[in-house]
Structure formats: C-alpha cells, structure tokens
Structure 1
Amino acid sequence: MELSAQHAHAPDVGFDGGDLDCGNGLLLLIRKHIDPLPRGGLLEILSREISVDEDLPAWCRLTGNELVSWTKTGKQRSFLVCKGRLAERDAAVAVAAVEPAAPVAAPMRRREPVAAPPVPELAVMGIGSWPRPRWMIEAMHAYVEGRLSEAAFHETADDAVRLVVAAQEKAGVDVMTDGEQRRDSYASFVASRLDNCQLIPLADLLPLVDDPEEFAAELRALDIPAGDVRHPAVFGALSRSRPLVAHEVDFLRAASDKPVKVALPGPYLLTRTMWMECISDRAYDSREQLAADIVRVLREELQELLDAGASIIQFDEPVLSEVVFAGAKNKRSFMCGALSESLPPEQELGFARDLLNAVFDGMPRERTALHVCRGNWTPDESVALAGSYAPLVGTLAQVRVGAYLLEMCTPRAGDVEILKQLPDDARIGIGVVNQKDCSVESVDGVAARIQRGIDLFGRERLLLHPDCGFATFADNAICSAGHAQEKLAAIAQAVARFRV
C-alpha cells in the first residue's frame, strides 16, 4: 500500500501509538483495538515512529489483515488497517454502529453453597485437559475471532463435554473433569474471562523477546503454532465480573454424579505470563502489584468453586520446573508461555510459594491441590524439561495445600521416594501413566507403580492420574481421545486389584 494524501475511508475506531515501535508495545495496543471489531472494521493507528512504516505492513501480511492506506504529515503518520479484507466490509455491520463496551459489572454475589462429594482413597482421575474434537476447535477459533456468538460457542462446548464425560465413565474414573473443552489452553484462557485482559496471538509477541528469529524457530521445532496459540496481555487493573471456570463446574456437576475436579492456572504462572513491562506497567508499577490482583481474583474464584461443589480445585504451576530446570538448556522454555524475565531460582520459588499460600489462606485445605510437571506441549520427551523433585520439594512442602498431583511416570521426573519429604497430612497424587507415551501401559506395570505408592504413602493418601493432561493446548493435543480413554482405563483396571 503506497502513501496517500488522505484516507479514502473513515475509521471506525482509532488510537495514538505515539513513539512506540512494534517491539515495544504497539502491536499489543493494535490487538487491543482490532480484536473487538467485526470483519471489515477499520482501525486508524497514529504513530511517530519511523520503523512502523515497514513493520506494520509485515504484521498485516502475517495476520491476514489489510493495510488500506497510510498518510504522513511531518513525523505524524496515520495507518488505516482493516480487520480481514476491505472487501468483507458491510455497512450493515460497520463498527460505527457498534455500541461501546459495557462498563465493568458490579462485584459478584456469593452463591448458596452446595455440598461436594468426598474423594475416595486410590481415586482415579485425569489431570484436566482432553483432546477436543475438530468441530470444537473450529468453534473455539470462530468464537475468539468474533465469528461465533458466546451462546453458540457454549452449546457446542456442552456437547464436547458430554463426550468427555462418557469416555471417562467408560474408562472407570472416580473423579470427573470436563476436559477443559472451553479453553484454548490450560492457562491463557483466563484472559478471555477477566476484565482488562485480552488474548492476543503469540506471533504478536515475537518482537518482545530478545531474539525473535531464534524464538520463532524454537516454537516451530516444538510444534507450537505461533499463529494459533494466544497469550494474555494486561491493559488495565484486573477485575473479575464473571466466573473464570465456575460455569464449567456447574455444567459438569449436572452431567455427572461423581466428584468433580477443576483446574486453574496458579498465581505464579499467571504473574509470569501476564507481566510484560512494555504494556503491563501501564496498569501496574511492578509484577508484585500485578500479582496482588491475581491473588485476589483467584481467591474470589476459589471461593465460588468451593460453593459450586467442586471436590478438588487444582492449581497448575508447571513454570516452577522451568525455574529450576530450564537453565540447563540455556534458553527460555515455552512450556508455560512465561515470556517475562525472572530472578534467581531461590527468589522465584519463594515468590511462588508466598503467592500460592496467599490464595489458599483460610480456605478448606482438603479440597485444594497443586499440579507440577515439566512441560506438556509435545509428545517428544527429548525436548521436555528433566530433573528430579530435589530442587523443588522443599518449596512444595511449604505450600499449605491439601494434595500434590505430580508427574512421576516419566523417567524425567526422578524417583517417587523423594516425595516422602512432603507433609504427612497431605494427599499425594502420582502419575502412573505417561500421556506422552504412544503405547498404553500394561495393567501390571501400572499396578506395580500403585503398589509402590501405597508402600510409601498409604492407601488413604494416594491419588492416581496420568502425568499431565492429554491436550494442554487445544490446537496441539498430545494424543487422541481414544488413547486417553485407554490410558485412564488401564489405571482403573489396575486400581481394581487393590479394592478386592
């Protein structure tokens, strides 16, 4: 698109990017303003930064948006970008007719608590995610891109959850999950539920890392679709005007009589993921200040999940492994999407411990759980992090949580006996099948792992599950739904030997 004297079309919305360049926050502001537009909507971007002349057209080509025209008066530039193609623009749905965003809702009222079924000893459960049907993934993309209504999206997701429930029932699980069918990933989905937070494509963030080309190559090598995976970005003070996952529990409890478990990204993971100085510091002076709001939001959600009757509320903190193990690879791991810089491991672990304890403070400990693994973005064991729990177990033991659900089947996790250092009054969940392994473990092999767990922790404390979820990222499942069902069935069949 060549330089024009003036724009031939009037913009629907616009903003002034000042002197920001694409690698210093401009792309995030563009995404903030363009995502709410319908296809064919026009966004005007004002800029005084010369590098935008080349970078913005490249971004448009990468994302499938059209640079309609641009003007220049002195240093002041004006770019007119169409969401999608200009040919898609329809006067009937032009953004000029779109109403402004609704104000943030008043604080949610506490619901009437319902009883949660107890979790039996030797309970079999999934960690969380389950492979989504292709039609569910297509609906998810259409919803995020504004091509599918929220009501239609949840109707589709309800059908997907029913299939997950049926598969788990057939496998013989004791504690039910909904397979995280409504989520694009185990963690970033939170951005679509919080006020002043937004999901943006990972490709938009490549300019923010030290070496974009190297990081992009790393993502390709790890089968991470940077154009499909989305990352949370904070544009203002975080607040919660609707549930993060309580609606998932409501539907799941209506679909099954068994105890239910729901997973949430932990406070340290969310803080590491959301803190990006080029944009987050417009709302927060420091990541500690951001973390305080994340803790508040998670405590509000945890209380609602308890009231909704969830038997186990699991907090995922895989980034703890990145803190202690990624240094050996001398590069940042994408296992959690944590793009921000971190302090030395001992400081990061202490920060994570304090955040978790702040979330759990005063809550019924027996219904909370903590999950840790070493990365679950690909079935390739060779690129995942490795190391025993030795550098982590001391920190884990200081977290006041009711259960630890830990990756233990893969040799990358070390020996299970080190978990004896965890508190005696906490339940211990051990991975007894490896979701990355393309073969289904033998019942005898699973039973042997269960026996070892009983010998170490006792029947009443032991919980049983895969090492991690079966589809951490919606677009990049670790295995098929049939394979997932067979792995859970192998655990259930092995557990049956100990219930005679």
Structure 2
Amino acid sequence: MSARKLAPFRADHVGSLLRPPALLTARAAHAEGRVGDDELRAAEDDAIRDAVAMQESVGLQSATDGEFRRSSWHMDFLYQLDGVSSSKDSSVEVAFRNASGNLTFASMSLVIDRRIGLSTTIFGDAFTTLASMTTSAVPKLTIPSPSMLHYRLGGAPVHVGTRSGAELDHAEGSPYSDPDQFWADLAAAYRDEIARLYALGVRYLQLDDTSLAYLNDPAQRESMAARGEDAEGMHERYVDTINLALRDRPEDLRVTTHMCRGNYRSSWAAEGGYDHVAEKVFGDLAVDGFFCEYDDARSGDFSPLRYVPRGDQQVVLGLVTTKSGQLEDPDTLKRRIEEASKVVPLEQLCLSPQCGFSSTVEGNELSYEQEVAKLELIVSVARDVWG
C-alpha cells in the first residue's frame, strides 16, 4: 500500500505544538508593553520557521504553524467573527481533570450583539506566512468548527439565546428572534471564510470540534439540557450547520474535522465513546477525514466507526497521547490499528496524536524532545503499516 498523496495523510498531526521558551518570553513582554507588535511578529516568525523545519525533517507530509500566533485554539478565531465579542462582566469556567486531580480553565464569556458575519479573512496572514515557509509539506490551517461558537455560548450571559428550535431566547436588543437565522448566518460566515482561505491557497483545512466529542458524555448532555437545550439532538444541528458551511467548497480543498474531549495542560473535560453522535457524524458529515481521539479508555472502542462509509473518507486514529511524554510501544500501536481495521478498511485509516500538544499557550506536560519523538514514532509506524 502506497503513501497517500491527499490529506489527511497516513502520518499526520492535529496542529498545535509546544511554544518555545523564546516565544513565550516575547508574548509576555508584548502583554506588558515592553515589546511592540513588529517584534512579537518577528519572534513568532522565527518560532514557526523552526517548527515547520522540524515537521518536515521528521517526515510529516503536512505542516502547521503550531498555532503559535494564538493563545487558544478556538477563541482567537471566534472573537474575530462580526457580531462576536467578549464580555468583561462575566467568564465561563470549564472543569478539567487528570490523574492528579481537577483544575479549571476560565475565559471571558462570548456575546452576540449583532448579526454574525465576516469582514476580514481570519488567520489569512498566518496562513500565507506558513505557506511561504514550507518546502516539502502541505501547509495545513486549523480553525474551530462553527459548532464551537454555539457550544461556547452555553450557560453564559449573552445577547442571543442558545436554545434550539422555537425556544431560542430573545433578549432585548438581540439580533436573533429566529433561531434558524442564527444558524444560517453562522454557516454563511464560515462559507465566506472558507472561500477567502481557498483564494489564499489553502488546500488542507481542519475544523476542530470538541463539542461533537463532548456530547458523548452524559454529564455534558445533562448540563446542556439543564439550560433548556435539545441536548440529545444538538449534534444533528451541528453536523447540518457544518455541511451548510462546506456547501460550496472547491473539489480540491481537503477538509477534516478533529474531535477530542478537552486538552488543557494534559487534562480533559469529557469522557465517553463516540456512540451517541456516531451515526450522524460519521454517516453524514461531509468531510474527507475524521481525527478521532483514541489514546485511552476514555474514548471508548472502535465500534462506532462502523458508520463511516466505505470509500475515500479517512479515519485518523489518535492513538498517540499528547498528555504525557511517555513514548508508546510501536507494536502496541500496530495491534490497535489492526483492531480498528476490523471495523474500517486499513486503506481508510491513518495515524496521529490524539490532540494537539498545546491547545492553549500553556501547553501539555511534556518536553520538546518528547514531542518530536512522538511525531517521529507516528511517521515510523505509518511507514511500517502502510508502506
């Protein structure tokens, strides 16, 4: 079996990379006003150039900028949509946990104070710079899925209600009394963004979506239902909105989605297999590949993958964890790939880490050397399995 020439690739990775110390120092200095925008940009460029060289040197066929220009994998994007802003009066806390205990991640609440739209191309400059630095690898851009805007609104004081169907709250001054208009505007903004990115040369786009994985967790659905939302069917609304956003995408634009259960400082927020969303997500979502978290028992077994249609859609098995530096055994990875191939044909499988190495600027608890070793392992195992 030969290597894939189209994304996703046999050996791939989710996107974010550990921020180097020099970049973290530059970001801190910029936040304190001791470093200007141009100096920060130069520090980011230097770090990205090194990151691209590393990805190509280990043999990856795609390369990202490590999300080095962002503080968070999703919020930096969502804040740039027209009509979306942050609330200085309230914040949302997300509970995370790991083997050592619990911790929380807090960010300012999102506010929808006018109709959602797109005035400027989000991450456009970031992509063109990345593309100028790649030589052998395909430049890959990661952005949050449309679902993430709605999911991040949940439970926060907002100017647009987050309930589905006719129950959508209509606060005074809200631009949305009709819930269908909210979803239509959101999809249209993404459709515009995708068209703009394609014009800049993007041919490999990833929609990161923790919401589709979170909804497999009964506790997450209970929390959503307590707010009056259709927790049991929300994943269907999400898939339909993503498909509407992708409706006009060019044939040569490869699009994947990544689903994980939270990734903050080596911790997670949700648990559960893909069973609840599997039929709709794997059966109907119009993407070329699914990056699926499968690094431990929290993610369930491979049986939900039976809904993936036979054809060219790929399942990228996230078998290598980014939550610790311990290196996986190659033979164990190969056995798990063989196990998955009993549900999905081997030619429709790929290998990756279960998530990014640094979904937020803080990063996970492993070293740069361990990060590189894991990427090298993925490439090595992929070559052994697929040739």
TM-score > 0.5, shorter chain as reference: yes
Report the alpha carbon displacement of residue 491 of structure 1 after superposing the two structures with TM.
0.8
Report the alpha carbon displacement of residue 494 of structure 1 after superposing the two structures with TM.
1.0
Task: Note the 1:77-92 alignment, pairs <5 A.
Answer: none
Which of residues 143, 146, 170 is equivalent to 1:264?
A: 143
SS where residue 498 of structure 1 aligns? helix
Aligned to 2:167: none
Aligned to 1:284: 175
Report the alpha carbon displacement of residue 146 of structure 1 after superposing the two structures with TM.
6.6
Segments of 5+ residues of structure 2 without an aligned counterpart are 161-170
Distance 2:336 2:126 in 1: 32
Q: 1:458 to 1:216 in 2, by over 3 A?
A: closer
Is 1:408 aligned to residue 288 of structure 2?
no
One-letter amino acid of the structure 2 residue matched with residue 379 of structure 1: S
Q: 1:351 to 1:142 in 2, by over 3 A?
A: farther
Q: 1:375 to 1:120 in 2, by over 3 A?
A: closer
Aligned to 2:103: 223
SS where residue 160 of structure 1 aligns? helix
Distance 2:128 2:24 in 1: 22
Aligned to 1:477: 364
Aligned to 1:450: 337
Distance 2:95 2:187 in 1: 34
Which of residues 354, 365, 373 is equivalent to 1:467?
A: 354
SS where residue 387 of structure 1 aligns? coil
Task: Note the 1:106-185 alignment, pairs <5 A.
Answer: 118-119=5-6, 123-140=10-27, 148-185=35-72
Aligned to 1:344: 230
Kindly report the root-mean-square deviation, in angstroms, between the aligned alpha carbons of the 2 structures.
Answer: 3.2
One-letter amino acid of the structure 2 residue matched with residue 265 of structure 1: P
Answer yes or no: is the 8 Å Cα contact 1:143–1:150 preserved in 2.
yes
Distance 1:231 1:488 in 2: 35
Report the alpha carbon displacement of residue 487 of structure 1 after superposing the two structures with TM.
0.9
Report the alpha carbon displacement of residue 453 of structure 1 after superposing the two structures with TM.
4.3
Q: 1:248 to 1:323 in 2, by over 3 A?
A: same
Aligned to 1:492: 379
Is 1:393 aligned to residue 278 of structure 2?
yes
Which of residues 126, 130, 134 is equivalent to 1:252?
A: 130
Q: 1:133 to 1:420 in 2, by over 3 A?
A: same
Answer yes or no: is the 8 Å Cα contact 1:404–1:428 preserved in 2.
yes
One-letter amino acid of the structure 1 residue matched with residue 186 of structure 2: I
One-letter amino acid of the structure 2 residue matched with residue 343 of structure 1: E
SS where residue 314 of structure 1 aligns? strand
Is 1:322 aligned to residue 214 of structure 2?
yes
Aligned to 1:335: none
Task: Note the 1:8-47 alignment, pairs <5 A.
Answer: none
TM-score, normalised to structure 1, is: 0.65
One-letter amino acid of the structure 1 residue matched with residue 125 of structure 2: H
Q: 1:246 to 1:351 in 2, by over 3 A?
A: same
Distance 1:255 1:270 in 2: 31
Distance 1:142 1:294 in 2: 35
Higher RCO (CA < 8 A, seq sep 6+): 2
Distance 2:214 2:386 in 1: 38
Structure of larger gyration radius: 1
Distance 1:245 1:152 in 2: 19
Q: 1:368 to 1:139 in 2, by over 3 A?
A: same
1:233-269 deviation digits (Å, cap 9, x = unpaired): 4443333232212322211221112112211111111
Aligned to 2:262: 375
Report the alpha carbon displacement of residue 274 of structure 1 after superposing the two structures with TM.
4.2
Distance 2:228 2:36 in 1: 38
One-letter amino acid of the structure 2 residue matched with residue 223 of structure 1: L
Distance 1:461 1:310 in 2: 23
Task: Note the 1:409-448 alignment, pairs <5 A.
Answer: 409-425=295-311, 426-448=313-335
Report the alpha carbon displacement of residue 167 of structure 1 after superposing the two structures with TM.
2.3
One-letter amino acid of the structure 1 residue matched with residue 207 of structure 2: F
Answer yes or no: is the 8 Å Cα contact 2:145–2:207 preserved in 1.
yes
Task: Note the 1:344-363 alignment, pairs <5 A.
Answer: 344-363=230-249
Segments of 5+ residues of structure 1 without an aligned counterpart are 1-116, 210-214, 333-339
Give aligned pairs, total: 365
1:452-475 deviation digits (Å, cap 9, x = unpaired): 445543454222211111111112
One-letter amino acid of the structure 1 residue matched with residue 306 of structure 2: K
SS where residue 124 of structure 1 aligns? coil
Distance 2:262 2:18 in 1: 17
Q: 1:140 to 1:271 in 2, by over 3 A?
A: farther
Report the alpha carbon displacement of residue 444 of structure 1 after superposing the two structures with TM.
2.0
